[in-house]
A and B are shown apart, each in its own frame.
Chain A
Amino acid sequence: VAHDVLATPGVRKFAREQHVDISQIHGTGAHGKVTKEDVATFVQGGDHVVV
């Protein structure tokens, strides 16, 4: 739990649907929280990790 990615359940689901490993994403929210936009940006970057 200690090192889990900070993200809401909805954002975690969005990342799964985009086939990305959310732990690879740099979060821009408070305390490094991964936002939906972060996931979208990561996907557009093309170098996503397939789960």
Chain B
Amino acid sequence: MVVGELTEEVDVVIIGGGPGGYVAAIRAAQLGRQVTLIDKAEVGGVCLNRGCIPSKALISAADRYEAAHESLFPGISTTASLDFSEVQKWKQSVVDKMTGGVKTLLKGNKVTVISGEAFFVKPDEIRVMTEVEGHNYHFEDCIIATGSRPIELKSIPNSDRVLSSTEALSLSEVPKSLIVIGGGYIGIELGQTYAKLGTKVTIVEGTSSILPTFEAQLSRLVLRNLKKYNVDIFTDALAQSVKETKDDVTLTFTVRGEEKTVTADYVLVTVGRRPNTDELGLETIGIQMAEKGLIAVDAQCKTNLDHIYAIGDIVPGPALAHKASYEGKVAAEVIAGQHSIVDYRCVPAVVFSDPEIAVVGLTEEEAKQAYKEVVIGRFPYAANGRATALNADAGYVKLMADKESGLLVGAQVIGHEASNLIAELGLAIEMSATLEDIALTIHAHPTLGEMVMEASEVALGLPIHVLVK
């Protein structure tokens, strides 16, 4: 730093403009603080620019193409053509619209947005490097929301043919073949999308099943669907190395000791994400870390320095956009003097696979550990009129409740629109609702939502539309 350089005084500094950071900025501004938001790239963060939104846009396009190309509907025949560069243009317009919206919201809330890379030089001062210069800011409170980035494999570094999710979302043409290393939700979503667009996809997963963080029962329907698209799946498989040529890339991997090779246009590495906490100068100011590069925080998202908060993918908990946004509001409210804390019973998690998977609360196993007796209600899509009329009757709704009190403690939905159906179940858990509360709520007919009511009745032993064995 140049001696005598000016340091600007600011009130609240937020580092990172993702779903945690920009929400925190807006809430802090709503509550009367003067907010400066710093982001090294563009507001909206990973979610809007390189994650949730572009991936869902491509998934929609792939679904439309599939439906148009290969009619899955009795009595309807179609032919379709695909112009992927137009799809990419449209996807980018979706991203631009959403980030433009965030910019408007920040401006409307009088948040100052600075483009640059920030790091701490003192516990109450950051230096922001823009492309041309550096500038220091002395702040009252700070919220760190720097997010995460894809993990790169040491033995298989990124290249023109070895991609992270970011590049895989922006391919200019549909690859003829693609190898996906890592069968988690990102790998499955992208792998399935390209499979629908006509790519020959191979999935290489290290554990014994795809979507390893979900129960086997849930991944089974997705697995069946992937096979329909001729996706090759290797589990218990360890990626070893790649060999690139001008035109393709060959992956060598081992499956229980046996060596195999697959050649494809591209390899996509989706083995996880790491927190962006390594280039912030956190050690210079003595921020206490938790495990794996995550920042230790209390229930108010406060670090060990009481004017510095951390939220989102850089703190423990599920790395989900909605969890980051929730924490952003908590941190902003705390710095505005409110008594907010992280106080949720559950966070829903959704996989936009085909069929969709959505879970909230405890799994069956967790519920059985937590409660003396657990009652389960499972209702199949095939017994629901709306699902059948949609020609989408694969899947089920499964509820877990404490038998003694009837309290709903967990729910899982797999099937069409599972991502939307899970909202009611999350609310039910937060409201401490019982199976009876849900069963006595009139659900519109014919809708997929009725399955939630019916699954409750199954758990209570009195279902109308399925026979109790």
For chain A, what secondary structure do more than half of its interface residues adopt (helix, strand, loop), or is it mixed?
loop
Could you tell me if B339 and A51 are in contact, using CB atoms closer than 8 angstroms? yes
Chain A residues lying within 8 Å of B434, measured Cβ to Cβ, are 30-31
Binding site secondary structure of chain B: loop
Within 8 A of B (CB), among A3-39: 4, 6-9, 12-13, 16-17, 19, 30-31, 33
Which of B338, B370, B431 is the one whose CB lies under 8 Å from A1? B370
Shortest distance in angstroms between B405's beta carbon and chain A's nearest beta carbon? 5
Structural contact, A16 and B407, CB atoms closer than 8 A:
no
Determine the distance from Cα of A19 to Cα of B434 in the docked complex, in whole angstroms.
28
When the two chains form the complex, which single residue of A1, A17, A33 contacts B339, counting CB atoms closer than 8 Å?
A17
Contact A33 B432 (CB under 8 A): yes
**Binary contact readout B332-363 vs A (1 if CB under 8 angstroms, 0 otherwise):** 00000011110111000000000000000110
B432 touches A1 (CB 8 A): no
Closest B-chain residue to A5, C-beta based? B432
Give the complex CA separation of A19 and B341 in angstroms. 12
Contact A16 B341 (CB under 8 A): yes
Of B405, B409, B432, B434, most A-chain CB atoms within 10 Å: B432
A to B contact number (C-beta, < 8 Å): 35
Residues of B within 8 A of A4 (CB): 345
Q: Is B430 a contact of A31 with CB atoms below 8 Å?
A: no
With known contacts A1-B362, A1-B370, A6–B407 Cβ distance under 8 A? yes
Take A2-B370, A31-B407 as given contacts and tell me if A8 and B339 are in contact as well, using a CB distance cutoff of 8 Å: no
Q: Which bucket holds chain B's interface residue count? A: 10 to 19
Chain B, Cβ-Cβ closest to A18: B339
Pick from B338, B407, B409, B430: contact of A9, CB under 8 Å: B430
Which chain A positions have C-beta within 8 A of B430? 8-9
In the complex, what distance in Å separates the CA atom of A33 from the CA atom of B405? 11
Q: Verify if B371 is at the interface (C-beta below 8 Å from A).
A: yes
A1 to B402, CA, bound (A): 12
A12 CA to B330 CA, complexed, in Å: 14
Interface residues of B in 395-438 (CB under 8 A from A): 405-407, 409, 430-432, 434
- The reply to whether A6 and B370 contact each other, CB–CB distance below 8 Å, is no
> Given A8-B432, A31-B407: A1 and B345 within 8 A (CB)?
yes
Q: How far is the CA of A7 from the CA of B407 in the complex (A)?
A: 12
Please state if B431 and A2 are interface contacts (CB–CB under 8 Å): no
Contacting pair A2 B371 (CB below 8 A): yes
Q: In the assembled complex, which residues on chain B have CB atoms less than 8 Å from the CB atom of A6? A: 407, 432
> Could you tell me the distance in whole angstroms from the C-beta of B37 to the nearest C-beta in chain A?
26
Chain A minimum-CB-distance residue to B366: A1
* Residues of chain A lying within 8 A (CB to CB) of residue B338: 17
Q: Given known contacts A1-B361, A6-B432, A16-B341, what 11 new A-B pairs fall within 8 Å (CB)?
A: A1-B345, A1-B409, A2-B370, A9-B343, A9-B430, A13-B343, A16-B340, A17-B338, A31-B406, A31-B432, A33-B432
